[in-house]
Amino acid sequence: MKARKIIVKILDNIFNNRAYSNIELNKYLNSEEIDSKDRALITEVVYGTIKYKSTIDTILSNYVKDIALIDVAVINILRSAIYQMRFLDRVPDYAVVNDSVNLSKEVSQNSSRFVNGVLRNYIRNEKKNYKEGFAKLESICFDYSFDKWMVKLFILQYGEELALEILKGLNYRPNITVRVNSNKSDYDEVFEKLEEEGYDVEEGSISPDAIKINKGSTIEKNPLFISGDITVQDESAMMVAPLFNFDSNDIVMDLCSAPGGKTTHIAELLQNEGEVLAFDVHEHKLKLIEEHKERLHLENIKTDIMDATKLNAKYINYATKVLIDVPCSGIGIIRKKPEIKWTKNARELRDLVQIQRNIMENAWEYLRVGGELIYSTCTLNKKENEENIDWFLDKHNDAVIEKVFIGNSKNIINNENGSVTILPNEYMDGFFIAKLKKR
């Protein structure tokens, strides 16, 4: 009962107050006395309910006159219950119904009767075909639980077959991946230590620095993490920094650096030499980078507040390398932040393109002749990716693209313009990388 109460609180904050799922989960799981079994249930049900919200709401609409009229204090009790009964088998249906009814009694007796009626009606119609009469697009939206506009976007840009693979990939439950700090530790030794400590681990799919953690206790509390031997980072993001051809005297600017995964990776690959300038518009995010810097024992990072969309004359022709992991729609990381399904819209995606282009223009001003620029995003929207690169190359005669190659995995697309798109799967987020050189 306590676990389900926490589940509903978290869902209320996410759906009603636009809170971030990862932050809300950490807040509750770190502050409550919760055993590992309940911790796993809370995490699974929260992420699953957010992920399948559209499908669940379609199901609920078969048992209520208007889902929009359901009390906000009750709707997430119903959503989380339907998720557990439809997508999980670890908890019996009667137990889910009983806990949901008791939870709704805290709202009102009428609410508890309503919840009981809806859920028991759902159980009685266990084999109901909720897609009856649906067109193909509606059916896809129901199966994968995505809004129509996003499904249409993927089909238009990638074709139906690949679009379905993307939708499937974005619904995978992600495991934790850690990057071994090559500046401090030996990969094999770290791997063995994690095994000795009871973690179920395996090598990364592509990155030589990646270790996948399939099962184990909270990695942030592990001595290897605390001492800076490892840091948490998705394997797709690990592919960015090694694409630079580093020199010990490099001056590297990371214009959109928070939370610092790529910044610290660059600093590690430079072996604490050169200079890494990490910028962000928010001071509290820079403090996070400083914390990572100290934990990873890195001395070549300097942080400062700067808006990447505004040109800073101080840094014109300053850097030998520039990284711009630009603000984007984030639809490549729905595995980890499923609320992106419901918080983004097509208009937002259009507005982001101009911001990204402003950052590209400024980054190019900061780069010296002969220098390298890497443009990356965690989105799969081609307008934010390949089309931005093509636009930039058409506008700048001194820019030449350097073909990026990171492997031959099934989820990697080598684009015609030399850039790379990483499709989401059970191990990696969706990602885009392009590399330019200033001639």
For residue 159, report the phi and psi dihedrals to the nearest 5 degrees.
85, 155
Mark out the alpha helices in 88-230 (DSSP H runs): 93-105, 109-124, 136-144, 148-158, 160-170, 187-196, 223-226
Rounded CA-CA distance 179/173 in Å is 19
Helices (H) and strands (E) in the chain, counts: 18, 13
Rounded CA-CA distance 358/355 in Å is 5
In this structure, is residue 206 part of a structural domain?
no
Please give the span between the terminal C-alpha atoms of the chain, in angstroms, as a whole number: 64
Among candidate residues 411, 404, 412, 407, the one with its CA nearest the CA of residue 433 = 404
In this structure, is residue 261 part of a structural domain?
yes
In this structure, is residue 241 part of a structural domain?
yes
pLDDT confidence of 36, banded at 50, 70, 90?
Answer: confident
Do 375 and 427 share a structural domain?
yes
Average confidence score pLDDT of the chain? 95
Q: Are 313 and 346 in contact (CB under 8 A)?
A: no
Judged against a pLDDT cut of 80, whether residue 49 lies above it is answered with: yes
Bind-site residues: 256-262, 280, 307, 325
Question: pLDDT at position 32, please?
Answer: 61
Rounded CA-CA distance 421/166 in Å is 12
Convert the pLDDT of each residue in 351-367 to its tens digit: 999 999 999 999 999 99
For residue 181, report the phi and psi dihedrals to the nearest 5 degrees.
-75, 95
Convert the pLDDT of each residue in 58-74 to its tens digit: 999 999 999 999 999 99
Identify the weakest region by mean pLDDT among 36-50, 313-327, 365-379.
36-50
Share of the chain above pLDDT 70, in %: 99
Give the residue numbers annotated as catalytic, written as ranges.
Answer: 378
Do 403 and 304 share a structural domain?
yes
Do 55 and 114 share a structural domain?
yes
Convert the pLDDT of each residue in 90-103 to its tens digit: 889 999 999 999 99
Do 251 and 144 share a structural domain?
no
Cα–Cα–Cα angle for 398, 404, 405, rounded to 5 degrees: 160
372, β-bridge pairs: 321, 437
pLDDT confidence of 1, banded at 50, 70, 90?
Answer: low
Q: Are 119 and 97 in contact (CB under 8 A)?
A: yes
Tokens of 218: 């909270």
Bind-site residues for S-adenosyl-L-methionine: 256-262, 280, 307, 325
Do 378 and 243 share a structural domain?
yes
Tell which of 65, 92, 124 closes a domain: 124
For residue 186, report the phi and psi dihedrals to the nearest 5 degrees.
-95, 130
Residue 259: cis peptide before it, omega within 30 degrees of 0 = yes
In this structure, is residue 64 part of a structural domain?
yes
Convert the pLDDT of each residue in 263-293 to its tens digit: 999 999 999 999 999 999 999 999 999 999 9
Q: Are 171 and 144 in contact (CB under 8 A)?
A: yes
Q: What is the mean pLDDT of residues 24-46?
A: 84
How many domains are contained in the chain?
Answer: 3
Q: Are 84 and 125 in contact (CB under 8 A)?
A: no
Do 154 and 58 share a structural domain?
no
Judged against a pLDDT cut of 80, whether residue 343 lies above it is answered with: yes
Question: pLDDT at position 348, please?
Answer: 87
In this structure, is residue 185 part of a structural domain?
no
C-alpha distance from residue 438 to each of 108, 315, 329, 363, 389 (Å)? 66, 16, 27, 11, 14
Among candidate residues 337, 143, 303, 309, the one with its CA nearest the CA of residue 234 = 337
In this structure, is residue 66 part of a structural domain?
yes
Among candidate residues 120, 117, 168, 125, the one with its CA nearest the CA of residue 143 = 168
Among candidate residues 208, 211, 217, 287, the one with its CA nearest the CA of residue 241 = 208
Do 82 and 146 share a structural domain?
no
pLDDT confidence of 35, banded at 50, 70, 90?
Answer: confident
Question: pLDDT at position 180, please?
Answer: 98
For residue 363, report the phi and psi dihedrals to the nearest 5 degrees.
-60, -40
Tokens of 395: 């506008």
In this structure, is residue 189 part of a structural domain?
no
Judged against a pLDDT cut of 70, whether residue 149 lies above it is answered with: yes
| pTM across the whole model | 0.94
In this structure, is residue 201 part of a structural domain?
no
Q: Residue 418, SS3?
A: coil
Domain residues for the domain of 140 are 136-170
Beta-sheet pairing, 301-305 with 275-280: parallel
Rounded CA-CA distance 245/328 in Å is 26
Do 305 and 273 share a structural domain?
yes
pLDDT confidence of 404, banded at 50, 70, 90?
Answer: very high
Rounded CA-CA distance 182/230 in Å is 9
Judged against a pLDDT cut of 90, whether residue 40 lies above it is answered with: no
Share of the chain above pLDDT 90, in %: 88
Q: DSSP letter string over 1-48?
A: -HHHHHHHHHHHHHHHH---HHHHHHHHHHHS---HHHHHHHHHHHHH
Do 380 and 242 share a structural domain?
yes
Question: pLDDT at position 346, please?
Answer: 87
CATH number, domain at 22? 1.10.940.10
Do 148 and 17 share a structural domain?
no
- The alpha-carbon radius of gyration of the chain (Å, integer) is 23
Tokens of 46: 């929260």
Do 246 and 298 share a structural domain?
yes
Do 159 and 254 share a structural domain?
no
Q: What share of the chain is helix, strand, coil (3-state, %, to 5)?
A: 50, 15, 35
CATH number, domain at 414? 3.40.50.150
Question: pLDDT at position 347, please?
Answer: 87
Q: Are 195 and 201 in contact (CB under 8 A)?
A: yes
C-alpha distance from residue 257 to each of 34, 89, 174, 254 (Å)? 34, 41, 23, 5
